[in-house]
Every structure is written in structure tokens, then in C-alpha cells.
Structure 1
Amino acid sequence: MTLNRRTFLGTGVAAAATLSAPMVRAQGRPRVVVIGGGAGGATAARYIAKDSEGAIDVTLIEPSRTYFTCFFSNLYLGGFRTLESLAHTYAKLATDYGINVVHDWATGVDRDAKTVALAGGGSVPYDKLVISPGIDFVDGSVPGWDISAQGVMPHAYKAGTQTALLKAQIEAMPQGGVFVMVAPPNPYRCPPGPYERISMVAHYLKANNPTAKIIVADPKEQYSKQALFEEGWQKHYPGMVERLGPDFGGGNVSVDPGAMTVDIDGEVVKADAVNVIPAQKAGHICEVAGLTDGNWAPVDGHSMVSRLDPEIYILGDASAQGDMPKSGFSANSQAKVAAMAVRGALTGSRVFPAKFSNTCWSLIATDDGVKVGAAYEPTEEKIASVSSFVSQTGEDAAMRKATYEESLGWYSGITSDMFG
């Protein structure tokens, strides 16, 4: 199916001024607080407010006034989009849907008192809490790298300034220079993301620095869309990309940000730009709130409610839910299920059985788009895949161009679905 804005907005399970401090609860209305304004949180806030028709008081807590989508940020690195095209604000959520948008950090959750503490002081009460904080990084997962090194060896796995920094470093590489990516172990945000990024870096270098080399140190034996990416690299960027999997030392990596070197199984590589994508875990607020079981937050797939607190719902990358990949599409799909469940619990409205979907598009070169996706349904144990699809190697140019154009329609649709 070709997706455009209208058809995307039709998919999904769920049939005020911006504030510097939270509003007092509207008289008699139940209160929902949403932490995190990305694909999960913004969507959930909008659907709860919209579909309850004012019956629920919704507060969205998000520190950033401008949100840059991580999805499609690789296309900025490749020169296919501007950084501004990835930027979105929360104005319509406030003015069109009456959502109380609080630009602050949520620093704690008192689950007994049912309040969320803010970095700026004070707290926000809730009857139901939705948490969609995205990812944070596992300390020490790449020896030599911690968050203080992100200005030298950027991760660019949270979009915005990090994405702009990585692009500037790629553009500053000398002719014949070396770009190194340290790829993450499973599970992590956007499984095809690192390899689309390699494709986009190669696209830029082919046009501007054709003798440059790209090295990928990868701890995984296999990765999403592997055959498609490797076919594309051979076709469009022959000889430029070298991936070192675990059999070739890709899982034994350390870095020295001061020297700009990467040690791959004892072989030290001097690099001109290094993209370190560390191991990942649920956004820190989940850990602070005591909602994690290991690195991720377990949920019941029928409603995305936390398995550790029946008043809290956890969406997107942070959740441990089963078979769905950690992606913007997944978070948006999960948000609609959670919004319906929250609305039903607070207003008695009808709740339909949950269904989920996901598609991940990737651009390999100009008009060479590929995709992978699936449909999902919940079981008692997890969200389980019930059908799937993936682009095939050897597809003709018309098919690949159509896939890329489909992704553009999806981007327009999902950002409208998130931000109104």
C-alpha cells in the first residue's frame, strides 16, 4: 500500500497555551500526564485530548521546545533533507487540542502520591501516567566513550545538535579520510538506522570525497535488511564500505576520543570522524521511577500498561513489549492503543482489541528506497508478529523509487499525527 498523509492518518487502532509551569487541575476532570514529546508521547497526548473531547485534562512534559525527528535524520547527513525539515513544535497541541505543554525535565515519579517532579521545581499530579522517554545509553558499553565524549565522537542517535555535529565532521574530513562507525548491539532504536546512515555518509562522500573510506565495527552477526544494504553498497559505493562483524573483531572495540582512534580487536585505526552508537536502555525516567526490569520497561501488550504499575503506560523505544522493533512507527502505533486504553479507563468509553503495525524505510542512494515491516497482535506474554514483508534484492528502479516516495508520504503523515 502506498502511504500518503491521508491514508497514514487513517491507520491506527484508536478510532491552551504553552506553559512554563503546570496548570491547576480542571474541576472534576481526570488528569493524564505524558512524559516525552516524541512519536509515542506526542501522539498519545493528542489522541487522548482529541478523542476525549475535553473530558480529560492532558499535560505533556517535554524539555525541548523544538523536536527534531530521529527518523529521517540520516537523510540530512546524505544531503536529501535540511535540518529544519526535521524540526517540529508543540504549538498546535496546545492551541488546537487544549493540551498543557510544560517545557521542563521530568526528574522523578512518586507512584504512591501519583505525581511527577519537575527539574524547575514543583510537581504535576496524575490519575494516569504515560511515559515515552525514548532511549539513554548504557554506561561503559564502548570502552573509552561516555556521554562527555559526544562532542568529539557524536552518537547522533538523538536528533538535533548531535546530527548537525556529525554532518559537520563528515564535511570536514580530508580527501581520502576515514569515517568509522561503532555500531550498537541488539536491541536498539531503529534496527536499520546505522546502515542507512552508512549509506547516506557514503552518498555524501562519493560526491565530495570519493577516495574516503568507511569502516563499520559491528558486534552483531546479522542486522536488519542486511542483504539489501550490502547489495546497495556494492552497486552504488563499490570499495568504499568495509564492515567488520564479530568474526573480524567488531565486537571487541574501544575508542580514544582525544587521539581520534578506534581500536578494533587490537588494530588501532586513526579516524577523521567517528560515530559511536553505544548500547541502549530505556530513558532514565523509567529507571528513576522503578519501572525497568534490566535495561527496558516491561509492559502488557494489550494496552501498553506497565507490568510494574497499573496506573502507568510505557511506549516506544523504552518498552520491553516483544517482537516490535524500536521505531517511530512502532511508538506511534503503540500510542494509539495506549490512548484508547487510558480513555476507556477514565471515561468508560469503548476499548477495542489492540492491533499494531510498523514499517521501517531506508534510503540507500538517490531514489533507491527499501523497507521492512510487519503487523502485530498482543498475547499474554508479548506483542507478537503475525505477518511481515521486506523489499527484495534485485528490484527494479521504479519499485525502489516508489518505495522512497512512499516513505515521504509516511513522514508527512506521522508528523501530522504527532503534532496536529
Structure 2
Amino acid sequence: MRMNRRGFMAATAAATAALAAPAVWGAADGRPRVVVIGGGAGGATAARYIAKDSGGAIDVTLVEPTRMYFTCFFSNLYLGGFKEMADLGHGYGKLASDYGINVVHDWAVGVDRAQRTVTLAGGAVLPYDKLILSPGIDFVEGSVPGWDITAQHAMPHAYKAGSQTELLRAQLRAMPAGGVFAMIAPPNPYRCPPGPYERVSMAASWLKANNPTAKILIVDPKDKFSKQALFEEGWQAHYPGMIERIGPDFGGANVSVDPAAMTVTIDGEVTKVDVCNVIPAQKAGRIAEIAGVTEGNWAPVRPTDMQSRLDPDIHVLGDASAQGDMPKSGFSANSQAKVCANAVRGALTGSKVFPAKYANTCWSLIAADDGVKVGAAYEPTEEKIASVSSFISQMGESPEVRKATYLESEGWYAGITADIFG
């Protein structure tokens, strides 16, 4: 058929409109749709368990901008020379090939709760029946005067594992003899791991072997911190005279930095440093705020299933959630994800939902083969996820016990990464 000018122009306009319209993804076969934003310990676990346990009855899409996920847990050991970056990296291939998950490498930039859609930076629109947010953390602007995200190359935070961790390790290794490594520790609550005080231990371990006259300065706004007695015992045993901590009583809560001059000002006193690891105050990852499910810095959730208290079709996992007693750890996120996955699968398919139980253990390495741990079991109450039992390493433990604790953490790492990524 011969096309005239009018027909050609109409066809061109229609084609242009089709290209301009956002692509709408979703299950065309009528299966319920779950979109998971964030491919870390919470999000990837939730996606895998929903896909696996539903036997394909639920269409699962995982949105994660990076193609390789580097774990925050064990990233401090990379700084200390006990791990390489390749040991920490995990891909998403098995989630796609073995579990049928649609893995989309893009940024989620919008959530329409009324229409139940997620918009991606590339323009695609993802419909959902249930949305799971596991975006980790972002930083509270202005929480460390003189520092913002544009200063992260001069003064890295290294709180999102990967290139920032590599940068901090390079800076540590380039320190001059007798130089000063400073850390601006975060206020509570904060993501851990990568725990600040394990990080200090790993920096000290490397410096002791390679730059033994160097000093470490911790500027801390908190009166106390988790496993403090164990860390201080270990620092005295392994790194005597190397580490100084300035708490709030001596100006630790009144600190500013100058990335250009590489200085730290504590209660008005200026100190020149060679490396400065700034760990700002934290809040839920940005997409939780965009979705309108945050109150203050965090996203409140129901203790029984991690469902948002502000939207019954959204669940929030891991670091971003305000859930009660559980720390903001990878173990916690993985534990919460399994409870959430069971609840979401039950809501969408009518399958049995089991009572929620949660657990967490946080291991820290103080020096070679000197590992310590703290952990707890948790159950939901009306108000929060509450600790019901706990344990912690004891001071004065034998080298054999501490080595066994470290080896236990190695086994846990292998197990949890397989549980997350398949």
C-alpha cells in the first residue's frame, strides 16, 4: 500500500508517542507482582525467598543499581588486609537464572502509592501488588559541620562498601610514618557492620605491622558503644598507646572538619590529620522518604511482619526500618527478610504464615584470630521487635576461644551470602 504524506506523518507521530511513553513492566499472566528495591542482605533475601517458596506463583522483580554487591560485613577486614575486595563481591546471576527473579539494574526514583507503581531512572514503570523497600542508609546533611557528600573523596565515609572502602584502604596505606588516622564516629543509631570500632581495630592492625609509630584518633559523640569493654581490652593488649578516643565529655560531640586543609576541630582545638574517616549521622535510604513511609529519619514498621505502619502494601527491611531492639546489621536484615517474605507470600497466595522470630549476631575482629561477638534472639510485641535473650563474648577469654569465634564468623559469612544470593 502506498503511504501519502498525511499517513506518513500520522504513523511517525504514533511511533514517537510510543517511544516517549514509559515502558510498563509486570506479569502479563495474572500472577501477583512483588517489587523489591535494594539488593543487599534484606532485599535480595526477600526476593529469593518469595520466588523460591512460591514456586513461581509470584512475579518478583528486584531493583538494584549495581551489578556487583559488596558486603558491608567483613569490609573492615579488607582495610586490615585480612580480605581482598573480590572476597566481598557477589553478583545477581543465580537469582535470575535459578529463581526466575527479574533483576533490573537501575535506580528507583519514584513510588506512586495510589497507583502502586515504581518509576525507574531509565523511565520504566513497575506495577506492584506488594512493594518491599530495603534501601540501606543515607546520611543526614550537616551532621558533621564542614563535611558533605562532595567531600567523600578527601574524607571517605566507607559506609557503603566498594569504591569508598578501596579509597580508605589506599589512604591508610599512604599515611606517612607517625601519621594520624582520625575517625569521626556516628551517633546512634547507625549501620553496623561496618562497625566503627572494628574498623579502628583493623586500621590499627595494619599500622602496627607497617607504620608502628602512627596514631589513631576517635572523635565520638556517644558516651558508650557496643562491646566497648571488649574493644578497649583488645586495644590495650594489641595496640598499646596507639588509639585515643575523645568522647562527648571532652568535646567529641562538638566537632567540625576541613577536608581541604585535612583538619579536625574538636571543641575549638584544631588538629592536623593525615587520613580522616567521617561517618555521619544516618537515616533511611532516600527511596523510603520518596515513598512517604518515613517518620523522622527512619521508616516505622509492624513488628510482626515488617509492614510499613503508613502503607499496608509496603514493607521496609533492614537499616531503613524503625523496628525496635534489633541493630542495623546484615544479619538483622536477612532475618527480617525471611519473616517479611513469608508474610508477603501468605498475603498474595493464601499460604500459611508462621509466627515471626528474629535473630542477630555481630562479630568483630580486634586482631588476627581475636574475634568477639554479641547477639540476641527477638520476638514481636505490640510496640516493637523486642530482645528476649542475648549473649556477648567475655573479657579475658583464651586465645583458643577468640580464634574459634573468628572462625565461626567465617562460616557465617559463607552461609549468609549463599542464603542471600543463592
Partner of 2:201: 199
After TM superposition, the structure 1 = structure 2 runs for residues 107-146 of structure 1, keeping only pairs within 5 Å, are: 107-146=109-148
Alpha-carbon separation, structure 1, partners of 2:163 and 2:59: 33
Number of the residue aligned with 1:338: 340
Match of 2:294 in 1: 292
Q: C-alpha offsets along residues 25-83 of structure 1, whole Å, 9 cap, x if unaligned?
A: 14010000000000000000000000000000000000000000011000000000001
Correspondence list, 1:193-342, <5 A:
193-342=195-344
Contact 1:175 1:211 in 2 (8 A): yes
Cα root mean square deviation, aligned = 0.9
Q: Write the deviation string for residues 62-106 of structure 1: whole angstroms up to 9, x where unpaired.
A: 000000001100000000000110000000000000000000000
The code of the aligned residue for 2:82 comes to F
Alpha-carbon distance in 2 for matches of 1:202, 1:212:
9
Cα offset, 1:23, TM superposition: 4.6
Match of 1:47 in 2: 49
Greater length-normalized contact order (CA 8 Å, ≥ 6 residues apart): 1
Return structure 1 stretches of 4+ with deviation > 6 angstroms. none
* Alpha-carbon distance in structure 1 between the residues aligned to 2:166 and 2:193: 21
Query: For 1:167, what is the secondary structure of its paired residue?
Result: helix
Judge conservation of contact 1:142–1:278 (CA < 8 Å) in 2: yes
Structure 1: runs of 5 or more not aligned:
1-20
User: 1:192 and 1:234, CA in 2 relative to 1: closer, same or farther beyond 3 A?
Assistant: farther
Post-superposition Cα deviations, 1:294-328, rounded to whole Å, max 9, x if no partner, equal 00000001000000000000000000000000000
Q: For residues 79 and 193 of structure 2, what CA distance do their matches in structure 1 show?
A: 18
Q: Match for residue 76 of structure 2?
A: 74
Q: Which has the larger radius of gyration?
A: 2
Partner amino acid, structure 2, of 1:414 = I
Tell me the CA shift for residue 24 of structure 1.
3.7
Residue in 2 aligned with 1:183? 185
Give the letter aligned to residue 394 of structure 1: G
**In 1: Cα distance, 2:147 partner to 2:264 partner:** 11
Match of 1:32 among 31, 34, 54: 34
| Aligned-partner Cα distance in 1 for 2:206–2:268 | 30
Could you tell me how far apart the structure 2 residues matched to 1:330 and 1:60 are? 20
For the residues of structure 2 that align with 1:120 and 1:248, how far apart are their CA atoms?
Answer: 49
- For 1:191 and 1:87, the matched residues in 2 are separated by 16
CA distance in structure 2 between the aligned counterparts of 1:24 and 1:107, rounded to whole angstroms: 18
Matched residue SS, 1:33: strand
Separation (CA, whole Å) in 2 of partners of 1:167 and 1:23:
41
Contact 1:34/1:45 (<8 A) preserved: yes
Q: Is the 8 A contact 2:109 2:121 kept in 1?
A: yes
Q: CA deviation at 1:267?
A: 1.2
Corresponding residue of 2:6? none
Q: Distance in 2 between matches of 1:191 and 1:132?
A: 16
Q: Contact 1:22/1:100 (CA < 8 Å) preserved in 2?
A: no
Rounded Cα–Cα distance in structure 1 between residues aligned with 2:28 and 2:205: 53
- Give 1:248 deviation, angstroms: 1.0
Task: Letter of the 1:351 partner, please give it.
Answer: V
The aligned counterpart of 1:18 is none
Encode CA deviations 1:366-409: one digit per residue, 9 max, x unaligned.
Answer: 00000000000001100000000000000000000000000000
Amino acid at match of 1:165: L
Contact 1:192 1:223 in 2 (8 A): no
Identical columns (%): 77
* 2:12 aligned partner: none
1:122 deviation in Å?
2.0
1:162 maps to: 164
Query: Any stretches of 5+ residues in structure 2 without a counterpart?
Result: 1-22
Partner of 2:388: 386
Please give the secondary structure, in 2, of the residue aligned with 1:306.
coil
TM-score (norm 2): 0.94
In structure 2, C-alpha distance between the alignment counterparts of 1:187 and 1:157, rounded to whole Å = 14
Task: Write out aligned runs for 1:69-108 (5 A).
Answer: 69-108=71-110
Q: TM-score, normalised by structure 1?
A: 0.94
